[in-house]
Amino acid sequence: MPCLHKRLKKTKSEEEAFLEKARRIARENGKRLGLEGDADLNFLLVGGELIKIRSSSWKRNRFFKLQEDCKTLWYESHKTFRKNQTCKCQKDEKHDEAQALFF
């Protein structure tokens, strides 16, 4: 399957340039939202340990990071085949099935 191919690794300089661009975009989005210099926003943009609570008895520590759009939280999944998995399966011509999206 083409979606299971490994992505090309970036060089160190490419990775640093990408991270600097992401930080700049995050700062600009923070300014637009009026949160420039907010300690909580800076903590989330860098990423840090927070507690994920599902019920009064289920609590787990997770590393959360706010994405550049300042709307999406990211955390690393420990499930097999979940890391960077995006696969779009098209409708089969022989069968009348709907498209399925896998994330």
Alpha carbons 23 and 70: distance in angstroms, whole number: 11
Residue scoring higher pLDDT (53 or 2): 53
pLDDT in tens, 40-65: 777 877 888 888 888 889 988 888 88
Angle between helices 12-32 and 39-46 (to 10 degrees): 150
Query: What percentage of the chain carries pLDDT values higher than 70?
Result: 67
